[in-house]
Structure 1
Amino acid sequence: MALTIGIIGLPQSGKTTLFNSLTKAGAPIGGYATSTVQANLAVVQVPDTRVDALADIFQPQKKTYTTVEFVDVAGMGQASQAAKEKREGLSPEFLGHIRNADALAIVLRTFANDNVTHVYNTIDPNRDLDSLNAELAMTDLATVEKRIERTKKAAKSGDKKYVQEMEFLQRLQETLNELGLASDVEISAQDRVVTDELFLLTLKPRMYVLNTSEDMLGEANEVLAKIEKGEQVVPESLKGELKGIAQVALRARAEGAQVAAVSAKLEAELTELPEEEANEYLEALGLPQLGAERVIQVGYRLLNLITFLTAGEDEVRAWTVTRGAKAPEAAGKIHTDIEKGFIRAEVTHFNDFIECGSFAAATKKGVQRLEGRDYEIKDGDIAHFRFNKGK
């Protein structure tokens, strides 16, 4: 199943333009009401030069990349005043599109454009994030309060399980009522069973996608790189867009969230160019790759995912697993029977294989290893699993 990332943001933040640059789906751009059931969906291949390199060597009948599904929903912040006063949050139809997403990409506008009005009339990504968080918190609060009504009846029996659940739900309620995030609440293993059933939006891993103007993209990425390295950056010392960019990036670092800067308009335009021309333009801007690829990479880091590979004459394929996954679990991604009957894995790291040029040479050099059940798959491992077909 594809990794799913829900794209949310205020109206006119450029989120659908970003969706189009990520997916080349050509979705119509324009605001539509939050109450709509409309959403844009597309599955895209994850670019991986390792798959291409192995395909050049093996000349397989088929090569398969991992995939990411993007879901672009209506602009938030458009709930009626009556709904806001009742603290109802997002509509059930809206919620249905993103509640099963593995992560949220929250698009925050930093660019100014007199022809594209901002819902709050001024540009302030930090404020916009507060607004979006508030609406997500209200949505989660409604979900939690429904669960409280159900649990309250069960807790009257004195059953310890429901009494503990009630205590946890009340802590969640208190935090969300103050427009905090569910991720701010301490969650035990037992509590996790409850949250897994609630699909809380403010508990989902998140990335902040800063939609910048084209001429600020290079400087924006420099600021993000400094903050990621832990260098001191004072937002108030920066001018224009960079101040808001730094504020959000520092906030993301404190929260354990991820951040990426893109120019959605530029990205969408580049997707219309031949690949060679697009790469030349990116090079001129000092950018190594399209923002779409950076967003996908950030998503992988956010969810702690890695890629292992299988290679042969039939197929070269990339597979996604969670970092720390043991060899049998990785084998199960290919087929459950391989996991059940797992014996051992023949593992060669991609870099070693490319240096050797073949599995035979890798074996001779001693860089192809036989690994057992406790081996943790590494990003870039090329694995062949031996298993007992009888199991």
Structure 2
Amino acid sequence: MALKCGIVGLPNVGKSTLFNCLSSAKAQAANFPFCTIEPNVGVITVPDERLTKLAEIVNPGRIVPATCEIVDIAGLVKGASKGEGLGNKFLGNIRETDAIIHVLRCFEDDNITHVDGNIDPIRDKEIIDTELQLKDLETIEAKYAKTQKMASTGNKDAKVEFTVMSAYKECLEAGRNARTVTFESKEEQDAAKNLFLLTSKPVLYVCNVDETAAKDGNEWTRKVDALAKEEGAESMIVAAKTEEDIAGFESYEDKQMFLEELGLEESGVNRLIKKAYALLNLQTFITAGEMEVKAWTYKKGWKAPQCAGVIHTDFEKGFIRAEVIKYEDYINYKSEAAIKEAGKLGIEGKEYVVQDGDIMHFRFNV
């Protein structure tokens, strides 16, 4: 399952530096707007300590973690919805992503210019929100009259779509993001999804700070956190420049030592990837054998046959049952034979809801 997160923000907030840390691809990071013209794309692995621990028991030929795609999108400026800067291109690139990582500058540095002259992450957030909202309004208004006309003739689908569009129109005109609107029925939820609105995508606000604020943040990060909570979004702190230093260390031990000196248990990059993964309601089940220990991505709430289909469509079509071992049991008992003997191997049918970290073996017949 391909997961695509777009990194957005005003120019010079640290997007490309963060992207460099997340990805082995190197985005140009220069002190002027639009040095990132084409979006840089990097495929990164989702950190999962469970795979390493299972591999110590199973001794597989390889470990295959889950991956996600990160897209570094050119810096946005005021007026992008009207084509300013790289406006239309930028907005088109966001439309193709599943979630937005919105980087906000929460650090002072006289050597790095700010496009609006001073540091104010709340203002910066509002600039981008406004541009995305204006573009979403444009999307709705382009088909609003036509949908209204079809709804008035009694067309059932058009009625649902018009209800959804009207709710979004009211919300956007009030200067709020589309993601703050929720719909009850499955039909309305599907209609909302098919509009592909930019501000309906889940968002993670990343406060880019200097090294001194890497652990506890600062006055700006606290303001962003409060605002994110108000709109039901997530926020986190990352010191992108420091993360770049961490990425430069060769050994795991050196990286851990550096993190400990900063008072951090885990790198900001690892935390960010995990949060982005959770943001999209994604979880992981695992297959473990001599050939490989592999992480598979699925949507939270999926049942066993759907997860079997992630490996191969035939597994879902001919699903018979799933043999399930809980991760903690695998670690405790150290072998499948011992797990079976202890009665800890679960035999599950079509209605089993897969849990994060389940070690699965599917039986199927095609």
TM-score, normalised to structure 2, is 0.93
Instruction: Pick closer, same or farther for the CA change 1:215–1:365 going to 2, 3 Å.
Output: same
* 3-state secondary structure, aligned to 1:74: coil
Percent identity at matched positions? Answer: 43
Q: How does 1:1-391 map to 2 (within 5 A)?
A: 1-30=1-30, 31-33=32-34, 38-79=38-79, 83=82, 91-155=87-151, 157-188=153-184, 189-220=186-217, 242-275=218-251, 276-388=253-365, 390=366
Aligned equivalents of 1:106 and 1:380: distance in 2?
29
Alignment partners' CA distance in 1, 2:262 and 2:274: 20
Contact 2:160 2:191 survives alignment (8 Å): no
Q: Distance in 2 between matches of 1:109 and 1:384?
A: 46
Q: What is the deviation of 1:156?
A: 5.2
Q: Which amino acid aligns with 1:217?
A: A
User: Is this contact kept in 2: 1:5–1:70, CA < 8 A?
Assistant: yes
Secondary structure (helix, strand or coil) at the match of 1:218 reads coil
* Aligned-partner residue type, residue 255 of structure 1: E
Q: Is the 8 A contact 1:249 1:259 kept in 2?
A: yes
| Residue ranges of structure 2 left out of the alignment (5+ in a row) | none
Aligned to 1:233: none
CA RMSD, Structure 1 to Structure 2 (Å): 2.2
8 Å CA contact retained: 1:8, 1:72: yes
Determine the C-alpha separation between the residues in 1 that align with 2:37 and 2:165.
Answer: 29
Q: Deviations over 1:173-223 (max 9, x none)?
A: 232123211122342432222222221111111101010111111122xxx
Q: Does structure 2 retain, via aligned residues, the 8 Å contact 1:90–1:139?
A: no
Counterpart residue type for residue 204 of structure 1: K
**How far is the alpha carbon of 1:89 from its aligned partner?**
11
Deviation at 1:8, TM superposition (A): 0.3
- Offset from partner CA, 1:335-363 (integer Å, 9 cap, x none): 11111111111111111111111000011
2: CA distance, partners of 1:164 / 1:377: 32
Measure the CA separation in 2 of the matches of 1:89 and 1:175. Answer: 27
Hey, what's the Cα distance between the residues in 2 that align with 1:211 and 1:161? 44
Measured in 2, the distance between the counterparts of 1:268 and 1:150 equals 51
Q: Is the 8 A contact 2:104 2:124 kept in 1?
A: yes
Aligned in 2, Cα 1:154/1:286: closer, same or farther, shift over 3 Å? same
Relative to the length of structure 1, the TM-score reads 0.87
Q: 1:191 to 1:378 in 2, by over 3 A?
A: same
Return the alpha-carbon distance in structure 1 between the equivalents of residues 25 and 317 of structure 2.
39
- Distance, in Å, in 1 between the alignment partners of 2:282 and 2:115 is 35
Unaligned runs of 5+ in 1: 221-241
Quote the Cα distance in structure 2 between the aligned partners of 1:98 and 1:83: 16
SS of match in other structure, 1:330: helix
In structure 2, distance between residues paired with 1:218 and 1:160: 53
Q: Contact between 2:76 and 2:85, CA under 8 Å: does it hold in 1?
A: no
Structure 1 pair 308/333, CA: closer, same or farther in 2 (3 Å)? same
Residue identity in the other structure for 2:72: D
Q: Distance in 1 between matches of 2:78 and 2:145?
A: 28
